[in-house]
Amino acid sequence: MEEKIRVGIINYLNTRPLLYGLQFPPIREKIELIEDVPAKLAELLLSGRIDVGLVPVAITQKLPQFYINGNYCIGAIGDVASVCVFSQVPLEQVERIYLDYQSRSSVALCKWLIENHWKIRPELIDAHNESYLDAINGTTAGLVIGDRALQQRPRFEYIYDLAGEWKNATGLPFVFAAWVSTRQLPGDFIREFDQANAYGLNHLDDVIARIPEGIYDLKKYYSQDLSYTLDAEKRKGLEQFLKIVAASSGV
């Protein structure tokens, strides 16, 4: 039997539309799914333990060679809702910012915005576990991504949406994660995989019906906040961001 392609997927709600179609044949039989948070998936790809993964685009700079597969990504053309700096005071008064340990792209984006767009000089602290969420208080702000960001929204008066801020700064959409591989995957496989991604996006009501109701409007999240097509504008935004990452001291 042919070896299965090991596919790394993010275990946040944002990927559900892309993953929905992967449960059906013919693609289902050809893949093995490995779920984790974005920063961990990046490690799995770097160490060769997955063949392709929806990994933070910022880590492509660490790969000797890489391929971006298919026509879908985790992106946004304005506010994304789930990648934000949360604070109880306005940015100008913020003294320190915790950086989410589950993220790579948003941490790099946050650092760039701090220096080039917001032009503030807070102390930056790498978080190492979930307890940092409780430390976001007073003049201590925090970058939070994924479902946990959606959960934080009601708690904070000041919410700085990183995709929206990138759009304000550059006029471009932002790509957080894409299907990255370190070797060229078979063309037939990529076509079927891409079609499976499209299937979920075309059946959003079915995708949503399988998720217990939570704290955020998923119809809005999937159809307005997130933007999944890796089109020409997103590729432009991606190219610009990767140049920034390459020029900075690392991810």
Ligand X SMILES: C=C(O[C@@H]1C=C(C(=O)O)C=C[C@H]1O)C(=O)O
Half-sphere exposure for 45 (CA within 13 Å, toward CB): 36
Report the 3 state secondary structure along 61-85.
Answer: HHCCCCEEEEEEEEEECCCCCCEEE
**CA-based diameter of the chain, in Å?**
60
| Burial of 128: CB neighbours in 10 Å, binned 0-12, 13-18, 19+ | exposed
Is 221 among the residues that bind ligand X (CB under 6 A)? no
Is 83 among the residues that bind ligand X (CB under 6 A)? yes
Is 80 among the residues that bind ligand X (CB under 6 A)? yes
CB of 111 to ligand X, least distance (A): 12
Is 21 among the residues that bind ligand X (CB under 6 A)? no
46 or 89: whose CB is closer to ligand X? 46
From the list 77-85, 191-199, 206-214, 232-240, the region that binds ligand X by CB under 6 A is 77-85
Is 12 among the residues that bind ligand X (CB under 6 A)? yes
Q: How many CB atoms lie within 10 A of CB 44?
A: 17
Is 237 among the residues that bind ligand X (CB under 6 A)? no
Is 106 among the residues that bind ligand X (CB under 6 A)? yes
Among residues 14, 28, 34, the alpha carbon closest in space to that of 177 is found at 14
Exactly one of 14, 87, 140, 181 binds ligand X (CB under 6 A); that residue is 14
Helices 162-170 and 105-116: crossing angle in degrees, nearest 10, is 50
30 or 143: whose CB is closer to ligand X? 143
Is 145 among the residues that bind ligand X (CB under 6 A)? yes
Is 104 among the residues that bind ligand X (CB under 6 A)? yes
d(CA 177, CA 161): 17
Mark residues 29-68: x for contact with ligand X by CB under 6 A, - for none.
---------x-----------------x------------
From the list 65-73, 90-98, 141-149, 215-223, the region that binds ligand X by CB under 6 A is 141-149
91 or 177: whose CB is closer to ligand X? 177
Structure tokens at 37: 């948070």
Is 103 among the residues that bind ligand X (CB under 6 A)? yes
Return the SS3 of 181: strand
d(CA 93, CA 122): 9
Burial 50-60 (b: 16+ CB within 10 A, else e): bbbbbbbbbbb
By CB under 6 A, the count of residues binding ligand X is 18
Is 8 among the residues that bind ligand X (CB under 6 A)? no
**Binding footprint of ligand X on the chain (CB under 6 A):** 10, 12, 14, 38, 56, 74, 80, 82-83, 103-106, 145-146, 149, 176-177
